[in-house]
Structure 1
Amino acid sequence: MELTPQQPPRAPGPEDSFDADWPAPDAPAPDPASLAEPPPPTMRTTLRRAAFGMVAGAVLVTGAVVAVPDDDTDAAPPLPGPVARAMTATAGGSPASLTDLTALIADRQKWVGTHPSDAPAWAVLGSAYVERGRRAADPAYYSRAEQALKRSLDVRPGEKGNTAAWVGLASLANARNDFVTAKKWGETVRARQPKEWTVYPELIDAYNGLGDRKSAITAVEKFTELRAGVPALGRAAEMYRDRGWREDALATAQDAANRASTPAEKAACLTRLGELAWERGEPKEAVAQYGAALRVDKGHHPALAGRARALAALGRTDDAVRDYQAALARSPRPAYLLELGELYESLGLD
C-alpha cells in the first residue's frame, strides 16, 4: 500500500523552531497548607466545586465525562480552556498538548491546596506529573507524581474504589522502566475491574517491557474491545508492526491519523506513520510524515528526532544536526544524544 502524507512535505523553516520556556520541574511541589484561600464562596458553590473536582479525576483516569448542572448564577465558573481541553483529551485516552497539560497541573495544584481530601484530584495531579515527566524525560516529575498518588491513596485506598491512583502508579512504574511493578499494579486493577479500559495501555507497556508478547497482544485486543477510537487504533497498529504484519500496521496507522482530531493526537499518529516509513527503508517518505507531524505540533520531539534520523540517512547532515538539537532541547533523552553523537563522529566532529 502506498502511503500518502497527511500534508504535502516542504522544506523545514523557521516555523519549525520551538519555545523551550517550560516551567522548571525541579521546583518543589506546592504545600497545600501554604496556598491562599480564594474569597469565601457560598455553601452551594463550595459543594459544586467539590463535585467538579471529583468529576475531573474521573475524566483523566477513567474517561467518564459528567456535566454538573448549571442552574444558578452563583456557581463556580467553568474550568479554563486549556484545562478543559486536557480533560477532554485524556478522557478519550489521547495525549494533551504540553501547554494544556501544564495548565492542568497548575489547576489541580491549586485545587488540592484548598481541598486536600480530594482523592480524585490528587490522582489527576499525580498522573499529569507522570505524563509531564515522560514528555520532558525529567525524573524530577516522577517523585512529585509518586507523592501525589500516595496522597490520593491515603485519602481513599484503592480497595475502596480509588483504582485511578493504582492506574497512575502503574503508569509511573512504566515511565521508570519498572515493568514488574507496573504489571503488579495493572493486574491488581484488572482483577478488580476487568472493564476498566484505562489500565490496559499500562498493561500493554508493562508486558512489552517484560518481553511477554502473548500477554501484550491479549491486552491490546481487550483494549480495542473496550475502547474504540484513535488510541486503540494506534495500539493495534503497533501490535501489527511487532508481529510483522506491515500492511495491516500501515492501514491501521493511516486510519488513526485520518481520525485524529487534536494537534497532539494528530502529531503522534503522523509520527507513527513516519516510523513505519523509516522501518520500510523509505527515508524520504519518513521525512514527509515527520514534517507533517511538526507542522501540526512544532515541538513534538519524537518527530524531530525521527526526521533527524531520516535526514541523516539522506545525507542532509546539517538539517539532521539541527533537528537532533531541537529534540534534545525539548526532551534530553539518552537515545537522542547517542544518535547525535554518532552523527558528529561520522562527520569527524567532536
Structure 2
Amino acid sequence: MRTRTAVSAVVAGVLFLLVAVAAFYTASVDQDATAQQAAASVAEVDPLTASIEAAQLRLEDVPGDYTTWAQLGSAYVEQARVTADPSYYDRAEGALQESLALRPDGNDAALTGQGALANARHDFAAAADLSGQALAINAYNATAWGVLTDARTQLGDYAGATDALQEMLALRPGLASFTRASYDAELHGDLAGARSALEQALGTTQGGSGEAYCRTYLGALAFAAGDLEEASAQYDAGLDAVPGDTSLLLGRARVLAAQGRSIRRCGPSRPW
C-alpha cells in the first residue's frame, strides 16, 4: 500500500509544477509568431512534453530565468517516471541546481523541485528537509506542502503528513491535494473518505494521467471491497479516456481473472 504514496509524490505532486511551466511560458514568452506556432505544435503532443519544450524555448530566450529552470527540473522528475529513464533525474538535478545558482536565496521553487526529486529517489529524509526549507521561505507554497506530505508519509510520520496535507488542501484544493487526501484517509482505514476524495479529484480533471490515476485507484478500492462490477466500470471508463494505460489494463485483467473470465482480443481498443 505504501507504493501508492510514492506514485502520488511523482504523479500528483508534480502536476502543479507542470501546469506552472506552461502558464508561465504563456505569460512571459515574446509574442513572436514563430514561437507561438512552436508552442502550439508542442501542445498537441502531450502536456508533459509540451511543458518541457515550452520551458526550453523560454530558456533559449531568457537563460537567466531561474523560475523556469526550477519548473523544467520538476518536469524532468515526472519525465523520469513516465519513461522509466533514470537519466532524467540527472537532468532534473542539473536544471534545479542552475536555478539555485541563479537565485541562491529565496528560491522556494527550486527547493521544492529538489524535494520532489529526493522523493522520487526515495531519499525521504532529504525531501522533508528540502520542502521544509522551501516552506520557511514561502509558507503559501502548496506544492511544497505536498512534497512534505509524501516525505512524512514514507517516513512513517502519519500525523505530520496529515497536518501537512491539511495545509495543502487549504491553500489549493485540487487534483494533487485530493489524491493525497484519499491515500491519507485510506491509511487511517476510512475507505469511504478515500473514495470521496478520489471522486473529488476526478472532478478536477478530464482525460490524461490525472483521470487514469483516479480511475485506477477508484477501481482498486472497489476491487478490494469485492465490488467487481464497480471496479470494472472504473477501469473501463479510464481506458475510454486513456486507452492503453498499463495500470488500468492491469486492474481490468485482475477483475476478469476474479470473474473467472479469459482475457481475449475482441477489438482494436481493448486487449481482451
Correspondence 1:164 to 2:109: yes
Give the letter aligned to residue 95 of structure 2: A
Q: Secondary structure at the match of 1:261?
A: coil
Aligned to 2:36, the other structure's residue is in SS state coil
1:80 aligned residue: 39
Deviations 1:224-267 (A, max 9, x none): 11112333222222211111111222223223323433433222
What root-mean-square deviation, in Å, do the aligned CA atoms of Structure 1 and Structure 2 show? Answer: 3.2
1:146 aligns with 2:146: no
Deviations 1:115-147 (A, max 9, x none): 432212211211111001112232121111111
Query: Which residue identity is paired with 1:99?
Result: D
Tell me if 1:223 matches 2:168.
yes
2:100 counterpart letter in structure 1:
L
Structure 1 residues 302-348: Cα deviation after superposition (integer angstroms, max 9, x where no partner) = 2223223333333345459xxxxx9xxxxxxxxxxxxxxxxxxxxxx
Residue type at the aligned position of 2:161:
A
Equivalent residue, structure 1, for 2:9: none
Tell me which moved more, 281-290 or 123-132.
281-290
182, 188, 193: which is aligned to 1:243?
188
Counterpart contact for 1:240–1:246, Cα < 8 Å: yes
Q: Matched residue of 1:198: which SS?
A: helix
2-structure distance, mates of 1:68, 1:117: 13
Q: Supply the distance in 2 between the matched residues of 1:180 and 1:145 (Cα, whole angstroms).
A: 19
Distance (Å, rounded) in 1 between the aligned partners of 2:102 and 2:27: 24
For 1:307 and 1:271, how far apart are their aligned partners in 2? Answer: 9
Residue in structure 2 matching 1:118, options 53, 59, 65 = 65
Paired residue type of 1:237: S
Partner of 1:60: 20
Evaluate the alpha carbon distance shift between residue 290 and residue 105 of structure 1 in structure 2; reply closer, same or farther with a 3 A threshold.
Answer: same
Partner of 2:219: 274
Alpha-carbon contact 2:76-2:91 (below 8 Å) kept: yes
Higher RCO (C-alpha under 8 Å, 6+ residues apart): 1
1:252 alignment counterpart: 197
Q: What residue number does 1:298 align with?
A: 243
Unaligned runs of 5+ residues in structure 1 are 1-56, 86-97, 321-325, 327-350
Cα pair 1:273 1:286 within 8 Å, conserved: yes
Q: How does 1:6-17 map to 2 (within 5 A)?
A: none
Question: Contact 2:52–2:76 at 8 Å: present in 1 too?
Answer: yes
Bigger shift: residues 255-264 or 280-289: 255-264
Amino acid at match of 1:77: Q
Q: Which structure has the bigger radius of gyration?
A: 1
Task: Verify the 8 A CA contact 1:308 1:319 in the aligned structure 2.
Answer: no
Q: Which deviations, in whole Å up to 9, do the C-alpha atoms of 1:70-121 show, x marking residues without a partner? A: 9x88896377247669xxxxxxxxxxxx822113223323443454322122
In structure 2, do the counterparts of structure 1 residues 319 and 236 end up closer, same or farther at CA, with 3 Å as the change threshold?
farther
| Residue among 30, 37, 47 paired with 1:100 | 47
SS at match of 1:80: helix
Instruction: State the TM-score, normalized to the length of structure 1.
Output: 0.62
- In structure 2, distance between residues paired with 1:104 and 1:69: 13
Aligned residue among 251, 254, 262 for 1:309 = 254
Tell me how far 1:59 sits from its aligned partner.
5.8
Q: Distance in 2 between matches of 1:231 and 1:294?
A: 21
Q: Whole-Å Cα distance in 2 between the matches of residues 306 and 58 of structure 1? A: 27
Read off the aligned partner of 2:71 and give its amino acid letter. Answer: V
Q: Tell me the percent identity.
A: 38
Number of residue pairs matched? 250
Instruction: Give the distance between the partners of 2:82 and 2:232, measured in 1 at CA.
Output: 22
Q: Going by fraction, where is helix more abundant, 1 or 2?
A: 2
State the distance in 2 between where 1:140 and 1:217 align.
33
CA distance in 1, matches of 2:49, 2:152: 29
Residue of structure 2 in register with 1:201 after alignment: 146
Query: Residues of 1 paired with 2:213 and 2:93: CA distance?
Result: 26
Distance between the aligned counterparts of 2:85 and 2:141, measured in 1? 29
Distance (whole Å) between structure 1 residues aligned to residue 28 and residue 85 of structure 2: 36
**Distance in structure 1 (CA, Å) of the matches to 2:35 and 2:83:** 33
- Find the counterpart in structure 2 of residue 127 from structure 1: 74
Q: Residue 290 of structure 1 contacts residue 306 of structure 1 at CA under 8 Å; is this kept in 2?
A: yes
